[in-house]
Amino acid sequence: MDHFNFINGHLHVEQVDVSAIVEQHGSPVYLYSAQTLKNHYAVLQNAFSALAPLICFSVKSCSNLSVLKLLVDQGSGLDVVSGGELYRALMAGVTADKIVFAGVGKSHEEISYAVDVGVFLFNVESEAELLRLDAVASAAGKRVKVAIRVNPDVVDAGTHEKTATGGRQTKFGIPIERAYELFTPKRYASVDVVGIHIHLGSPIPSAHTYLSALDKIEEMVNRLQAADCPIEFINIGGGFPAQYSTESNPVCSLTETGSHICGRLQELKRLGLRFIIEPGRSISANAGVLLTTVEYIKQGWDRKIAIVDAGMNVLLRPTLYGANHVIWPTRFGDFSGHWTALSESVREAGAAPLEEVDIVGPICETGDHFALGRPLPVLEDASLLAIFSCGAYGMSMASQYNSRGRPPEVLVEGAHAKLIRRRETHDDLIAHERCGLENT
């Protein structure tokens, strides 16, 4: 369901040959397909249609204003986790009544900002935060709605330990048993506690993990309703699947996940509850690729090494999580789609010999690699490579480490490519430090 295809052996995003993007904007560069973003939004909407949830795209997964605006134009709301993300969301044109504000450590300033603009719902993660929010809202003379993020103590075995958030050992949410008393009606002056929020981790490969958590949430709703606590919303969070390897069709598993969750929540829907989801990667991951160019090939002691012009500062996921992204040269072979590119059938097809190579970046760290011993067509200096499924947590986690400017971002729609963020310059690298050199 994405729009990255090899046409006559050359990788295209929608109707644009990706090499043309590099000619115009240089390398490395992040490239997004507008149609893919729209498709994934629609697939998700369909998958969850039985619940008709408010979809709040998770800004942290892909924060570029133009991407946010595109999704807002599709009807999406936005999930933000900081004052900066809230600012971005508003700049992208979303109305405050479609913004949910999550995060374990909202500052006084961030809470005031969100109260002032009137966000739809605060996902609150501690009693102390609730008291702070109540005080800020009271001072501003406003009433705010809150969902309590509960920690259901449910962990998906397939989630990386650094992105599992539903377990008791993490900092996230409030243990269910402790959360009950926060729902007591009229306990706060300016806060209405009307929802329950969970986010189990990212990604959550198994729908059963959601179902285990939802069992506990359903029990909680029953108990709260029996105690006359007015529960209006269940926010299921994000973590829905995207495609990173060659194994399965992402849209199927997204659809399956949606239908399992919808099936499980029908009873609560009948009781009049409304639903929110906060998808990030399931919309954006497969809508973006990172293009990077081989600077040098060298022979190590026992391995071939290709040094490319993007490093862990540009794409951190492989270094941080050992994430495995499909990598393939942009001008090699006439494959029907990149998901088959690493499969045995391609090797057997004898399209060309593959050889194992380490794909590494230029950063001065041993962990700065995108793949080790990866079977790829024989690479040369200046080969252009596509690293797939980089639309989520790619650019949004990029840094200037080693004083390397962040790359540009380009959004393609049909035959039209638009620069949506320019490459950072040397001057950008020092812009915030000039003050230190000024005479006072």
**Contact range with ligand LLP by CB under 6 A, out of 19-27, 235-243, 408-416, 424-432:** 235-243
One residue of 199, 374, 404, 406 binding ligand LLP per CB under 6 A: 199
Instruction: Kindly state whether residue 79 participates in binding ligand LLP, applying the rule CB under 6 A.
Output: yes
Q: Which of 78, 68, 75 is nearest to 45 (CA)?
A: 75
Residues 390-409 that bind ligand LLP (CB under 6 A): 392-393, 397
Q: 175: which 2 tokens?
A: 């243990």
Q: Among residues 396, 405, 399, 401, which one has the least CA distance to residue 428?
A: 405
Site for ligand LLP in 322-361 (CB under 6 A): none
Of the residues 53, 279, 329, 377, which one makes contact with ligand LLP according to CB under 6 A = 279
Q: Give φ, ψ of 322 to 5 degrees.
A: 65, 30
CB of 241 to ligand LLP, least distance (A): 9
Instruction: Report how far residue 351's alpha carbon sits from residue 133's, in angstroms, rounded to the nearest whole number.
Output: 61
The residue with tokens 């097809």 is 349
CB of 94 to ligand LLP, least distance (A): 16
Cβ-based neighbour number of residue 387 at 10 Å? 26
| Cα–Cα dist 281/276, whole Å | 16
Segment near ligand LLP (CB under 6 A); pick from 29-37, 181-189, 238-246, 380-388: 238-246
Contact between 159 and ligand LLP per CB under 6 A: no
Find the shortest distance in angstroms from Cβ 383 to ligand LLP: 26
Chain residues 15-54 in contact with ligand LLP, contact rule CB under 6 A: none
Residue 240 interacts with ligand LLP (CB under 6 A)? yes
Q: Torsion angle of alpha carbons 29, 33, 34, 35, nearest 10°?
A: 180
Three-state SS at 180: helix
Tell me, yes or no, if 252 is annotated catalytic. Answer: no
Residues 259-278 that bind ligand LLP (CB under 6 A): 278
2 vs 278 by CB, closer to ligand LLP: 278
SS3 at position 16: strand
Q: Which of 39, 112, 159, 202 binds ligand LLP (CB under 6 A)?
A: 202
CA distance 309 to 141: 53
The residue whose two tokens read 């022979």 is 299
259 vs 324, beta carbon nearer ligand LLP: 324
Q: Active-site positions? A: 364
